[in-house]
Amino acid sequence: MADTLRRLVSTSSFSALQDKLDSWLKDYHLLSCDQNLNRCCELVELTARVQGQLFAVLSQTASEGGHYAGVETLKSRLLPWLGSCFALGSAGVSADTSLSLIQESVEKEKRIRDLSQSHEHEIHKMESQLSSTRLELDSVRQDLEDAQLELDDTKNKSATTLLATEDEILQLKAELRAACDRADLYKRKLDVLDDYERQIRLLKDEVSFLTAEKSLLRDRLTRSRSPSPLPRRSRSPSPLLRSDSPTRAQLTSSSRHARLLSRFGDLYSTERLEAQNLLRRYIDELEMVQRIIFIGTVESFHAAKMAYRQFKLRVRKTLSPTHAGPESLEDAVVDYIVRNLDLYDVQASVNDVISAMNVHPKISFPPEVDFILLGSFLREVCRVAFAMQTLEPPLDLAFSTDGELYSESKYRRSFDSEYSAPLVAYHVWPALVEGDAVIMKGEAVTRRGALWSPRRSRSRSSSPVRPRSRAGSPSRPLASSHSRSPSPGRL
């Protein structure tokens, strides 16, 4: 009996019943009808199990007192109560099983309470998040209402602005056109003023130079010890002073002339040899390489002259409406071109030269490469040729053709020429002329039977390899194998 009573005390069954009653009372209004009934049935089952354990203790206690011990107590207290409200539970469940069931039920109730508390905590957390979200939503809704009010206000202001009459709009457009016309007029006047200022600066420089030259001449006259009177100078003014307003192109014509001649000589002595060495990597025949460079030079001059004519027409068309300077329109056009040589589209001329070389019947090229290899050389030749057109008179290349009569005034023979041959087999470098006068000689190869040499077809096949017994190294300058000047010289 003592063991059964001890187990009953250790399970704390009555404490569990009291906790369940307290929990049920707390959640009674939150639970549904079925949930409340389930709670009640659980309490009844637990109560029945506890009472079963108490009856077991009662039976053991009564058996310890003998057959007649405790009879009066059972008759007076237990039997009336049993008759009224108690029904004994299933006798098949043992005391240990009943106690373990009660303990499990207590643990389940405890877990249920923990889960309920965590659930309530999550619910409170979600409710707080929901309330904060509602506040943010209210703030956004208020912002939207403010934006709608601002939009309505803007619409009203725009509608008010659009109420301007059509006459006012037309008047404003007319005033705008007049203002644009005045601005264009002022801009043209400003451009003319800038040109005047540049011309004034040039004139000041020229005057200072002439003043210095005048003072130098005076010093020389003063230091002269000749007793004879100085010859009387002519009173006719110099051609430069006769010009009322010399342009920059006129003032720098001589210096540009000398510089371009020097640059043309550099093209022959430096850039030509570099291009020749580059082509010799792909073409073994020196004659074909020299023909390609010569034809590229001639085509570059043709393309540059065409580009100069077109550029000059555009400049004349642009300056003619606003030209009012002291110099002629032609001088102003040339002066503008000289000051803006960088506006020349040299790449377009190079493309035209390459296109012309691709269809030329006298030269061929390997199919794996293209004339774009000569791009840098052709670009420099086009720049020099374009600048030569701004001179007065312009510089140009002398007319040349294969088989022409060799002229000592136009060409020098190359080192591998036949000096007794009277005809030109092919040209290495063109001659430069100014009007009808040759100012820089070219270079040509003379051979016998030049007129009967077979014409070459413009195929893209590679040139055949020929023996180089008579051809010199392409990288060696021409002066090393010829006794004359290394570059085209002046006559």
What pLDDT, on the 0 to 100 scale, is given for residue 275? 93
The predicted-structure confidence for 331-345, as pLDDT tens digits, reads as follows 888 888 988 888 999
Residue 433 three-state SS: strand
The predicted-structure confidence for 202-226, as pLDDT tens digits, reads as follows 777 667 767 776 777 776 677 664 4
Please name which of 256, 396, 265 lies closest in space to residue 334, comparing C-alpha atoms: 256
What pLDDT, on the 0 to 100 scale, is given for residue 203? 77
The predicted-structure confidence for 138-182, as pLDDT tens digits, reads as follows 999 999 999 999 998 888 887 777 776 777 888 888 889 889 988
Identify the burial level of 308 via C-beta atoms within 10 angstroms of its C-beta, where 0-12 means exposed, 13-18 middle and 19 or more buried.
buried
Give the best-scoring range by mean pLDDT among 61-70, 260-269, 323-332, 462-471.
260-269
The predicted-structure confidence for 85-99, as pLDDT tens digits, reads as follows 544 444 455 656 666
Structure tokens at 216: 């130098």
Choice among 73-82, 326-335, 407-416, 461-470 with the minimum mean pLDDT: 461-470
pTM across the whole model: 0.45
Structure tokens at 480: 């090393």
The predicted-structure confidence for 412-455, as pLDDT tens digits, reads as follows 999 888 988 889 999 999 999 998 899 999 999 998 875 654 44
Strand order in the sheet with 442-446: 411-413, 442-446, 424-429
| Mean pLDDT of the 39-52 span | 82
What pLDDT, on the 0 to 100 scale, is given for residue 379? 95
What pLDDT, on the 0 to 100 scale, is given for residue 98? 62
Q: Please check whether residue 256 is in contact with residue 334, taking contact to mean a CB–CB distance below 8 angstroms.
A: no
Question: Is pLDDT at 125 greater than 80 in this prediction?
Answer: yes
Q: Would the CA dihedral through 263, 433, 315, 254 be positive or negative?
A: positive
The predicted-structure confidence for 407-424, as pLDDT tens digits, reads as follows 999 999 998 889 888 899
What pLDDT, on the 0 to 100 scale, is given for residue 242? 34
The predicted-structure confidence for 239-289, as pLDDT tens digits, reads as follows 333 334 444 555 567 888 999 999 999 999 999 999 999 999 988 899 999
Length of the chain: 491
Q: What is the spatial distance between Cα 458 and Cα 63, in angstroms, rounded to a whole number?
A: 137
Of 206 and 402, more confident: 402
Largest Cα–Cα separation, the chain: 188
Choice among 100-114, 281-295, 369-383 with the minimum mean pLDDT: 100-114
Give the best-scoring range by mean pLDDT among 55-69, 159-173, 187-201, 390-404.
390-404
> Which amino acid, residue 403?
G
